[in-house]
Structure 1
Amino acid sequence: MRGSAALIATGLLALAGPAGAQAVDVWGGGLASACSTAAQGGSSSFRDEQVCTQSIETEQLVPLDRAGTYVNRGIIKLHGKRYAEALADFNTAIRYKSDLAEAYVNRAAARIGLRQFKESLSDIDNALILNVKEPEKAYYNRAVAHEYLDDEKDAWLDYNKALQLAPDWPLVKQQLARFTVSHPLDALPTVSPPTEPHR
């Protein structure tokens, strides 16, 4: 529209690791608890993944803890950038507990890693509706997906929402610094969104 301003994002900011890894607390000791601790600690080790698998196969878990253990094993796979395998675990977690917000936000992260940006948006929306524990990560991931879908306005809005929720988060500030307001008749540079979502 002539005379109106446009938001544009410039430059490439390389990000490390997958987005939105939000572990599920499983208490009471045992393998499921150890799996939870490993996921929260950022592990990507096969040994920790096997602890989660052993819990799933041998421990008597209530549906929430079983779903949480699938989420936590998926997070370990996310940390290892094995997005398709992580996606399968998040799908299983949702089958056990369809209202587990962390399963959706992490499934969105796996989908972003698989470049399934449109599909990730509904998962992030579900996570926010279900009151995910760290909504700033959900907004950040949704911003990344919007950027890849060439929707700079919604990306900018979501980065700003993430910053409102986590004002000291330097990564969000770095992302917002890439945005400028430009007249639409100016030559627009190529937008290069982040290569990977945030962990």
Structure 2
Amino acid sequence: MIRARLPRRIRAAIPALAAGLALTASPAAATQDPHADPRAMTILGNDANARRCGQNVAGGDSSDATIAACTRALEYRRLTREAQVQLLVNRGVTHLRRQQNELAVADFDAVIVIDGENAEAHLNRGAALVQLRRYGPAIASLTEALGLGVQEPHKAYFNRGIAREALGDLRGAFEDYTTALQIEPDWGPASAELARFARARREHLATVLDEPTTP
């Protein structure tokens, strides 16, 4: 664990789009053509709304049409557990992209009720909570995602770092940003935050050195 001397206050604002960095859609949503993926067909069957929901989310479409397709698919009474989870995650991701964070949290909460060990739901839930400035619950959700082996842990560490910094835990934030960069060495967001920490330390040191000494 890295230890460093840090100034008490080093930032004026929390990054506004932290949550957007943590988006993780349901795995089957990444398939543009459901007929090419037997697993996607098994989960979603022949429902056109479900296919449209997955295709739109995979293509980055966060329009009203995507929300409507996912919602109509969720109304199908014979959904399997896996299909319900997939559709809720995809709709939650779409809400998150639209900055509809309360709705996103509700969808990810619903996923966790069905599958409490869904790491991606915990990650995205934590990202939405960061956007809502509910930093304590965000930290708990992101830590749970890490414990469950989330697929992209650098995003969980980064968002947890933002939440810790907002609560005044600068050392914890610094360590999380550092871990994120160690996992993903060329990742710009973590590099930028650590550069900001280094710049703040230099400025703090310069201020201290310029202060007159007490006789």
TM-score over 0.5 for the pair: yes
User: Are 2:186 and 1:158 aligned?
Assistant: no
Which of the pair has more CA radius of gyration?
Answer: 2
Q: 1:82 aligns with which of 93, 100, 103?
A: 100
> What residue number does 2:23 align with?
21
Counterparts of 2:170 and 2:155, CA distance in 1: 18
The percent of aligned pairs where both chains have the same amino acid is: 32
Quick one: distance in 2 between partners of 1:186 and 1:36?
Answer: 55
How far off its partner does 1:9 sit? 3.0
Q: Superposition pairs for residues 179-190 of structure 1, below 5 Å?
A: 179-180=197-198, 181=201, 182=204, 186=208
Do the aligned residues in 1 keep the contact of 2:101 with 2:132 (CA within 8 Å)? yes
Distance 1:41 1:154 in 2: 35
How many residues align structurally?
Answer: 183
Letter in 1 for 2:96: L
**Structure 2 unpaired stretches of 5+:** 29-39, 210-215
Question: Which residue in the other structure is 1:197 paired with?
Answer: none
2:62 is the counterpart of 1:44:
yes
**Contact (CA 8 Å) 2:18, 2:130: kept in 1 or not?**
no
What's 2:53 paired with? 35
In structure 2, relative to structure 1, the CA distance for the partners of 1:91 and 1:50 (3 Å cut) is: same
Q: Does 1:97 align with 2:98?
A: no
What is the distance in 1 between the residues matched to 2:14 and 2:130?
16
The farther-off stretch of 25-34 and 130-139 is 25-34
1:163 touches 1:173 (CA, 8 Å); kept in 2? Answer: yes
Of 65, 79, 82, which aligns to 1:64? 82
Residue 58 of structure 1 aligns to a residue whose secondary structure is: coil
Give the superposition deviation at 1:168. Answer: 1.3
- 2:34 paired residue number: none
Shift of 1:186: 4.0
Distance change (3 Å), C-alpha of 1:159 and 1:57: same
TM-score, normalised with respect to structure 2? 0.76
Deviations, residues 135-186 of structure 1 (Å, cap 9, x unaligned): 1111111011111111111111111111111111112111111003356x94
For 1:138 and 1:41, the matched residues in 2 are separated by: 23
Q: What amino acid sits opposite 1:18 in the alignment?
A: A
- The answer as to whether partners of 2:18 and 2:159 remain within 8 angstroms in 1 is no
2:53–2:67 contact (8 Å) kept in structure 1: yes
Higher relative contact order (CA 8 A, sep 6+): 1
Amino acid at match of 2:130: I
Deviation of the 1:17 alpha carbon: 6.4
TM-score (norm 1): 0.82
| Contact 1:18/1:109 (<8 A) preserved | yes
CA distance in 2, matches of 1:101, 1:34: 24
Distance across 2 between alignment mates of 1:13 and 1:123: 18
Shift of 1:15: 4.5
Structure 2 residue identity aligned to 1:5: R
1:111 Cα shift?
A: 0.8
Q: Could you say which residue in structure 2 is the equivalent of 1:194?
A: none
Structure 1 residues 119, 132: CA separation in 2 closer, same or farther (over 3 Å shift)? same
Alignment partner of 1:179: what SS?
helix
Change (3 A) 1:154 1:14: closer
Larger helix percent: 2
Pairing 1:120–2:138 present = yes
